[in-house]
Amino acid sequence: MSYIANTSSQQEAMLGKIGKKSVADLFETVPKAVRLDRPLRVPPALSEMELTSLVAKLAGRNRHPGDLACFMGAGAYDHFIPAVVDTLSSRGEFVTAYTPYQAEASQGSLQVFFEFQTLICQLTGMDVANASLYEAGSGVAEAVMMAMSVTSRRGPVLIAGTVHPHYLATLRTYMANLEPEIRVLHCPGGYLEPSRLEAEVTEETPCVVVQHPNFDGSLEEVAELSRIAKAKGALFVQVFDPLSLGMLKGPGELGADIAVAEGQGLGTPMSFGGPYLGLMACRESLVRKLPGRLVGQTVDRKGKRCWVLALQTREQHIRREKATSNICTNQGLYAIRASIHLAALGPEGLRETARQCLEKAHHLRHLLVAKKVGEIAHVRPFFKEFRFRLGEGMPAAAECVDRLLEKGFLAGVPHPENPRDLLIAVTESRTLEEIEGFANALSALRATAGKGAGQ
Amino acid sequence: MMERNQSADLLFEISKPGRRCHRVPPSGLPAVGLDSRFLSGGSPPLPEVAELDLVRHYTNLSARNMAIDSNFYPLGSCTMKYNPKRHERLVSLPGLASPHPLQPDKTVQGMLAILFEMQEMLAEIAGLHACSLQPSAGAQGELAALLVAAAYFRHRGENRTRVLVPDSAHGTNPASAAIAGFDSVTVKSGDDGLVDLADLESKLDERTAVFMITNPNTLGLFDHQILDITRKVHEKGGLVYLDGANMNAILGIARPGDFGADMMHYNVHKTFTGPHGAGGPGSGPIAVRDMLEPFLPSPMVIRDEKGGYCLQQDRPLSIGRVRAFFGNVGVLLRGWMYLRTLGPNGLREVSEQAVLNANYLLTLLRDHIDVPKGAGCMHEFVASAKILRREKRVSAMDIAKRLLDKGYHSPTVYFPLVVAEALMIEPTETESQETLERFAEVFVSILREDPETLHEAPHDLAISRPDEVAATKQPVLRWKSA
């Protein structure tokens, strides 16, 4: 089954018109020596019914937040997705269109991306947003390269040790052969102390990268950090959580020059890690260094308002090796989803969602402490996620996760820095029953562990 | 028809304070007091719309797009083939759409089995040894592969600083080389549209890390010198990279590894029918020869001792990550479903029919418009409006815009750069003879129209030609309240 429309008699007629005897003759320019003389070693073809049953069987071997209450976060969150997001974004006119290079035939996508850019600006308080990047990890790398280009500084890039370890790893990969060194600022207190940044930042620092809320879920002293960075002329890059902005001050207000985020929480299913949605916004003055596509407003020949791809001279298909980035394909369909999601939430829905995350996460922390499961690892204000240090008598974090699977929970993410720490996220999707059930199930592990040790 | 849409107002213009769509009922929990230095005064000024407003808004906007589902879309280099609906239904099964990316391996065995098989199939189709599914799109695949090459040479103690790129290559090639820290050097194409061997040789030396080739190239030609080319690069100790944008022409016909490529990327959203999603997401896995495998991004899916699957994180020579989490899994799943649907014969048939359709359309058009390398082609060909421009002042863009009027998406225009007034046409294998014939008739009739009609095209779409210069000179990149 290869979705071919032409019948065999049509194929013959077409070959005749071309003047070839067989399909093989069409490949004359492929030297015999490099032609594959056997079938590809891939599994045999499946009908739609066979494929459907195979996929159902394999999908059935995966546990997921539909059958386990999800307390995992660490950069991917189980936020609720309203039905309108799925229904509208799955229209074939969006799904099967290409990048809107032909503006007249792509006003639908272009207008959605223009609205998306506006929504991200409204959300963040930043001046300009692009039409998306792949996801947050490469987004951080793009932001740092943008900052190097803007400042022309080659001193060490400073990044808080509380940034998501995958984002840091991605940055290291991207920068492997470029000049500036990456200096990770250690954060023993679970956040970047402003005095620590003050001691490190110099007139040669291209940028400072801080995530807020950070990987542990804790809030950073962003306003002060951005002031310190900017006093030395370094750009301030803030990684943010879009859903936190229903309550928390946005990167615009906090003084970010470039704001980057994982937009997965805005209408994208967790899908084992992708496709997600990289958000990037910046100050007006930096727009010509911004990577990725931008949609602009203009008029057509009759003076009618319309939308086009703008500032393409930044991009690889025009500038080649001098482009601001190599990015071409971005995450169009997921930008459409995020737009619909944000429009469905509106200011009140966003605020309600943020408040629920905050309240439910604090409620769980309170229950866990009350049940003597452990204590928060670093006493810092947090939003929807916290780093919880398992107390005496509790198994290590990975074992807790393992044992709670049987009880119906995805218990959190074992913290990469300490096997006793569990990173626990609570979104608005979790019910009070699930939260209480989770606290009970986790504390029950302590009881068993204690008994086991005593016997 | 598009004009009959009720409104092209922006979301922000239909917003009304107090209107609601999605609601989150109160939790009943006590409010949490965060310090005021963290709190914004209120919620961001997002638009406020009712659910029906929202549904009409996006439904009407969608009608202002051309798409494969509604129109023939012969956009060269983009492989706009049919996107099977079964994939969309199956990827939304909760067992595939919902798992968290950091769940324990044992809870995602079905997912890992699929991804492992995808790695294996992509390596086999490439004729190479190993495959990383991590890169998010073709351009990120290029970057990842060049970083792999850099790590490989560093490991061998070789200092190679240059990446050679043909002048007909996609812009992402030189851009990726620059970001990977290499100097990008352009290699000329000869009059035949293929790599100019003499120019290649003059630029190949011990500084050459990688030669990036697109084969079939962007002119739709298979470079028959390929064995010579790859031998010459290898003789100088360099690696050959294949830009896999045009893999739709050679599935099961020729394998990059067999013609000397050491690494390549796939565009799963093109060749394996992603779909394109108005500009993404893509997925750009890379396949490499055995000596490069240790340097591939981490993690990879491997088989464990018990016959299950796990993510291998500990790979000491790996370049690391090019993104958070595993990759664009949703796109990879669709690609896997496509490969499993086609099987070995179906895959070969894809390329045979893609090349047949392209040659058929070429035959129908080349008596009417100049096709500089038009003796035959692979999956696409490049026509030129150079003569028309000189004789009738009709440009490639004019033809493209008039095609839109007629209900056809335009070919890719002004690329590749090596052809003046280029119209790059890729019909793909899923179009029928009738569609190709109707398209050719319309195309030829456009060439006979008076130039004024073409200069003013499109006439019948939601908008006429936009002023792109104004959009760049004084960019308006967001809506602001009056």
Query: Can you read off the two tokens belonging to residue A4?
Result: 């071919």
Per-residue pLDDT at A189 exceeds 70: yes
3-state DSSP call for residue B88? helix
CB contact under 8 A, A94 and B10: no
Query: What pLDDT digit, counting tens, does each position of B128-174 carry?
Result: 999 999 999 999 999 999 999 999 999 999 999 999 999 999 999 99
Nearest-by-Cβ selection for A329 from B39, B62, B137: B137
Q: Look at residues A52, A190, A105, A363 and name the one whose alpha carbon lies nearest to residue B407.
A: A105
Phi and psi at residue B413, to the nearest 5°: -115, 150
Please, where are the H alpha helices in A163-277? 165-174, 194-200, 222-231, 251-254
- Residue A298 pairs with which residues in a beta bridge? A306
Chain A residues touching B373 at Cβ < 8 A: none
Chain A residues touching B90 at Cβ < 8 A: 51-52, 55, 59
Residue B6's pLDDT is 54
Give the residue carrying structure tokens 């077409």. A14
Chain A residues touching B172 at Cβ < 8 A: 316-317, 326, 328
Angle B433-447/B396-405 helices, nearest 10 degrees?
120
Residue B482: pLDDT band (50, 70, 90) is confident
Per-residue pLDDT at B376 exceeds 90: yes
Residue B145's pLDDT is 98
Residue A1's pLDDT is 72
Q: Look at residues B116, B92, B95, B99 and name the one whose alpha carbon lies nearest to residue B334.
A: B92
Residue A313: pLDDT band (50, 70, 90) is confident
Is B50 in the A-facing interface, judged by CB distances under 8 Å?
Answer: no
Angle A432-454/A332-370 helices, nearest 10 degrees?
50
- Residue B312 pairs with which residues in a beta bridge? B300
Residue A329's pLDDT is 82
Is B222 in the A-facing interface, judged by CB distances under 8 Å?
Answer: yes
Q: Is A56 exposed, middle or buried (0-12, 13-18, 19+ CB in 10 A)?
A: middle
Q: Domain spans of chain B?
A: 1-64, 87-341, 346-468
Q: What per-residue string of b and e applies to B326-347 under the rule 16 or more CB within 10 Å gives b?
A: bbbbbbbbbbbbbbbbbbbebb
Nearest-by-Cβ selection for B22 from A76, A114, A345: A345
Distance (Å, rounded) from C-alpha B129 to C-alpha B123?
A: 6
CA angle A104, A134, B471 (to 5 degrees): 35
Distance (Å, rounded) from C-alpha A119 to C-alpha A136?
A: 18
* For range A220-233, the mean pLDDT: 98
Is A340 in the B-facing interface, judged by CB distances under 8 Å?
Answer: yes
| CATH level 3 topology of B346-468 | Aspartate Aminotransferase, domain 1 (3.90.1150)
Considering chain A, what is the average pLDDT of its residues? 96
What's the gap in Å between the CA of A146 and the closest CA on chain B? 11
Distance (Å, rounded) from C-alpha B38 to C-alpha B387?
A: 64
CB contact under 8 A, A351 and B43: yes
Per-residue pLDDT at B276 exceeds 50: yes
Query: What pLDDT digit, counting tens, does each position of A246-275 carry?
Result: 999 999 999 999 999 999 999 999 999 999
Distance (Å, rounded) from C-alpha A354 to C-alpha A333?
A: 24
Give the residue carrying structure tokens 């429009």. A343
Chain B residues touching A331 at Cβ < 8 A: 277, 279-281
Is A202 in the B-facing interface, judged by CB distances under 8 Å?
Answer: no
Residue A322's pLDDT is 82
* Encoded amino acid at B468, one letter: E
CB contact under 8 A, B49 and A312: no
CB contact under 8 A, A91 and B44: no
Distance (Å, rounded) from C-alpha A55 to C-alpha A61?
A: 10
Q: Look at residues B457, B362, B327, B205 and name the one whose alpha carbon lies nearest to residue A17.
A: B362
Residue A448's pLDDT is 58
Phi and psi at residue A316, to the nearest 5°: -65, -30
Per-residue pLDDT at B194 exceeds 90: yes
* For range A370-384, the mean pLDDT: 97
> For chain B, what is the radius of gyration of the CA atoms?
25
Per-residue pLDDT at A385 exceeds 60: yes
Chain B residues touching A347 at Cβ < 8 A: 42-46, 48
Least confident of A448-452, B188-192, B198-202, B391-395: A448-452
CA dihedral A226, A229, A235, A237 (to 10 degrees): -40
CA A146 centroid distance within chain = 19
- Residue A70 pairs with which residues in a beta bridge? A410
Chain B residues touching A225 at Cβ < 8 A: none
Residue B66's contacts (CB-CB under 8 Å, 6 or more residues apart) are A97, A102, A105, A106, B73, B404, B409
Residue A417: pLDDT band (50, 70, 90) is very high
Residue of B nearest to A125 (CA): B44
What's the gap in Å between the CA of A144 and the closest CA on chain B? 12
Residue B138 near residue B331 (C-beta atoms within 8 A): no
Query: What pLDDT digit, counting tens, does each position of B83-137 carry?
Result: 999 999 999 999 999 999 999 999 999 999 999 999 999 999 999 999 999 999 9
Residue B184's pLDDT is 95
Per-residue pLDDT at A213 exceeds 80: yes
Residue A429: pLDDT band (50, 70, 90) is very high
Is B102 in the A-facing interface, judged by CB distances under 8 Å?
Answer: yes
Residue B187's pLDDT is 97
Nearest-by-Cβ selection for A275 from B46, B330, B342: B330
Nearest-by-Cβ selection for B63 from A93, A316, A330: A93
Chain B residues touching A19 at Cβ < 8 A: 363
List, in sequence order, every beta strand (DSSP E) within B304-369: 309-312
Chain A residues touching B375 at Cβ < 8 A: none
Per-residue pLDDT at A303 exceeds 90: yes
Nearest-by-Cβ selection for A316 from B108, B175, B322: B175
Is B417 in the A-facing interface, judged by CB distances under 8 Å?
Answer: no
Neighbours of B390 (CB within 10 A): 11
Query: What pLDDT digit, counting tens, does each position of B422-434 carry?
Result: 999 999 999 999 9
Domains defined for chain A, CATH in brackets: 69-78+347-454 (3.90.1150.10), 83-342 (3.40.640.10)
Residue B274 near residue B331 (C-beta atoms within 8 A): yes
Residue A25's contacts (CB-CB under 8 Å, 6 or more residues apart) are A15
Residue B1: pLDDT band (50, 70, 90) is very low
CB contact under 8 A, A41 and B124: yes
CA B204 centroid distance within chain = 29
What's the gap in Å between the CA of B387 and the closest CA on chain A? 23
Neighbours of A57 (CB within 10 A): 11
CATH of the domain spanning B87-341: 3.40.640.10
* For range B324-347, the mean pLDDT: 98
Is A308 in the B-facing interface, judged by CB distances under 8 Å?
Answer: yes
Residue B451 near residue B393 (C-beta atoms within 8 A): yes
Distance (Å, rounded) from C-alpha B76 to C-alpha B355?
A: 13
Helix, strand, coil percent values for chain B (each to nearest 5): 40, 10, 50
Is A408 in the B-facing interface, judged by CB distances under 8 Å?
Answer: no
3-state DSSP call for residue A385? strand
Query: Among B43, B359, B366, which would you mutate to test the A interface (most chain A Cβ atoms within 10 Å of its Cβ)?
Result: B43
CB contact under 8 A, A249 and B466: no
Q: Look at residues A359, A432, A377 and name the one whose alpha carbon lies nearest to residue A69.
A: A432
Q: What per-residue string of b and e applies to A339-355 under the rule 16 or more CB within 10 Å gives b?
A: bbbbbbbbbbbbbbbbb
Q: Look at residues B67, B72, B77 and name the one whose alpha carbon lies nearest to residue B438.
A: B72
**In which region does residue A295 sit, left (phi positive, over 0), alpha (psi from -120 to 50) or beta (all else)?**
beta
* Encoded amino acid at B254, one letter: A
CB contact under 8 A, A63 and B99: yes
Statement: the pTM of the whole predicted model exceeds 0.90: yes
Query: What pLDDT digit, counting tens, does each position of A322-350 carry?
Result: 888 888 888 999 999 999 999 999 999 99
Query: Among A128, A149, A163, A174, which would you mutate to test the B interface (most chain B Cβ atoms within 10 Å of its Cβ)?
Result: A174
Query: What pLDDT digit, counting tens, does each position of A30-65 carry?
Result: 999 999 999 999 999 999 999 999 999 999 999 999
Residue of A nearest to B410 (CA): A102
Nearest-by-Cβ selection for B40 from A41, A145, A247: A247
Query: What pLDDT digit, counting tens, does each position of B208-248 carry?
Result: 999 999 999 999 999 999 999 999 999 999 999 999 999 99
Query: Can you read off the two tokens belonging to residue A283?
Result: 């100050």
CB contact under 8 A, B95 and A135: no
What's the gap in Å between the CA of A3 and the closest CA on chain B? 6
